[in-house]
Amino acid sequence: MAISTIDGAINGFQYQHYWMKNAASPSSPLFYSLVYATGVPSVATAPSPGMAGEALTSYEGQLPFSNPPSGNSYLHSFSSTANDVLSMMVYDRLWQNSGIDVTNTGAQTINSVAFPARDGNGSTNGAGVLVALEVGAAMGAATPTLTLSYTNSDGTAGRTGTSIYNTISGSAVGSFYIFSLQGADKGVRSIQTITLGSSWLSGSVNLVAFRILARTGSWAGTATGFTDWITHCGTRLYDGTVPCLMTWARTSSSLIYNGTFTVTQG
Amino acid sequence: MAITSLDNVGAGGQYARQFVKATTPTLVAGRPHSLFYLAGVPGAATASTAGLSGEALTSYAGQIPFTNPVSGVTELGKFTGQCTIGGQLLLCDRLWHNSGIDVTSTGSQTINSVTFPARDVSGTTNGDGVLVGVEVTAATGAGTPTITVGYTNQSGTASRTATNAISTVASSAIGAFYPIGLQSGDSGVRSIQTYQQSATWTSGSVSLVAYRTIARLPLITDNGPFSVDWLTTAGQSLYDNSTLFLIFIPRSTTASQVHGEVIWTQG
């Protein structure tokens, strides 16, 4: 089955999840993962699966999600507000790792385990899947370049991406550096290596493979952003989805984020 | 088939294509800037080497990835963006581009473009709604030439001429994008015959680009995210093989971050 009408989207909605995060000291402007921020859902602990990482079907800092007894899941609505201008994103966290040596400037082997079948088309190919380096413990006073070697969604190995936005000295927990794609690539199927251009001196980081499900935000302080099944064109949430929150804020001040996340199934 | 209801919009939605770019060159307030050659998501494009008559595009590395529908049509479902500075973000279909223009010549250079793909506003090769821009592919040198393009309009009338709608700037950075106007009464460009500069640009390289604007996103405040959707854009058609790219019109010169997503619906 599939939900193909507004009536279907209404009939299938699950209870609304309220979320609230208080993010202290995000670097700015930068993508910022809220899994380590206090609030609802609870704070995640940094992953520890090792370099090859773990494919995720649940994670303690995620928004609640249950697979449907039958049929499919879709985004019903996603809203956010905060005490400043920002974008809020809910993304599916597919894979994460640990064990990267932040002082090592050589190529560090990752050879990721297979990502779950939750790319943009519900497969393991990786279409629409991006990778970011997430700060798990505050970094030292350095600004290394970051280079990723990956296999693209067509299965072509030896592809290279770099952090799109420059790293920030002393990056705070949750800082989220998204990697570029090479040429005509549509996404990432697997990761082979990570290389830091210089030592980051201290702290800890992990890689995250993810796919952004929906965006909303506040174009003025405290304004509420909202998107739903229609305006987001029936965004599919595949079984095992691990919905997590990410923001892009202009300020380095502590902010309070609130919103709702609702799924419809049928 | 066609998308004729909100039910269709939701039922036919495809996954969101993300874009994340850092606009590192110095921008010029009010002057369009193509994000095509910037690294990020999607990856950086490399300049065309197709020659003066150019190439009709059905895909090109650096575009926002597009997949044709199994059957039926494609329409824009949502376009969302955010930038550290305000301005306007344009989602465009890149129909054709070329290479080989001599930026030091002040003579008329023959283009005689190959036929554009059938992706004008009506899905034909007539050119209605198709505009032309001059895109800087390697930083230019000194000089602020006026650019004159000779073209055939959407009705098939030849020998039409127009000039750059925004003044050129010396030392234009890669990505600088100068839209060419239309001659009175025209609503688009079917083909291009000639290109001429009034003065040398000294160095660098440029391409002509034929494009159609799919949607414009008003970024009315710095850092503020904005969206348009199927309703507010009146279900704009994305014809098969659309080659989507972004143009940013900044309100100031500040280098900035740009990110957002494009969603289309098919049915």
Task: Spell out the domain ranges in chain A.
Answer: 20-71+87-220+240-265
Q: Considering only the beta carbons, identify the residue of A6, A85, A165 that sits closest to B257.
A: A165
B200-222 pLDDT, tens digit per residue, is 999 999 999 999 999 999 998 88
What residues of B are in contact with residue A5 (Cβ under 8 Å)? Answer: 7, 10-11
Mean pLDDT of A72-95: 93
Contact A218 B40 (CB under 8 A): no
ipTM confidence score: 0.91
Give pTM, 2 decimals.
Answer: 0.94
Mean pLDDT of A56-67: 96
What residues of A are in contact with residue B42 (Cβ under 8 Å)? Answer: 181, 184-186
Q: Considering only the beta carbons, identify the residue of A2, A178, A219 that sits closest to B221.
A: A219
The pLDDT of residue A26 is above 70 = no
Please report the pLDDT score of residue A223 as a whole number: 76
B125-163 pLDDT, tens digit per residue, is 999 999 999 999 999 999 999 999 999 999 999 999 999
Contact A219 B6 (CB under 8 A): no
A-interface mutation test, from B82, B232, B262, most A Cβ less than 10 A away: B82
A180-232 pLDDT, tens digit per residue, is 999 999 999 999 999 999 999 999 999 999 999 999 988 777 778 889 999 99
Among A20-34, A42-56, B89-103, which stretch is predicted with the lowest mean pLDDT?
A: A20-34
The pLDDT of residue A25 is above 60 = no
Average pLDDT in chain B: 95
Chain A CA closest to residue B15 = A120
Mean pLDDT of B67-89: 94
What residues of A are in contact with residue B62 (Cβ under 8 Å)? Answer: 183-184
With cut-offs at 50, 70 and 90, classify the pLDDT of residue B166. very high
- In sequence order, what DSSP letters do the residues of chain A get, joined into one string? ----SHHHHHHTBPPPEEEEEEE----SSEEEE-TTSEEESPPPPPP-S-TT-EE-S--TTSPP----SSS-EEEEEEEEEESSSEEEEEEEEEEE-----TT--SEEE--PPPPPS-STTSSSS-BT-EEEEEEEE---S----EEEEEEETTS---EEEEBSS---TTPPTTBEEEBPB-TT--BEEEEEEEEESS---S-EEEEEEEEEEEEEEESSTTPPEEEETTTTT--EE-TT--EEEEEEES--S-EEEEEEEEEEE-
Q: Give the count of Cβ contacts less than 8 A between chain A and B.
A: 152
- What are the tokens at B47? 């300049």
Mean pLDDT of B232-257: 92
Chain B CA closest to residue A229 = B10
Contact A186 B65 (CB under 8 A): yes
Chain A CA closest to residue B233 = A231
B113-126 pLDDT, tens digit per residue, is 999 999 999 999 99
Task: Spell out the domain ranges in chain B.
Answer: 15-266
What residues of B are in contact with residue A234 (Cβ under 8 Å)? Answer: 9-13, 265
A105-145 pLDDT, tens digit per residue, is 999 999 999 999 999 999 999 999 999 999 999 999 999 99
Contact A164 B63 (CB under 8 A): no
Please report the pLDDT score of residue A158 as a whole number: 98
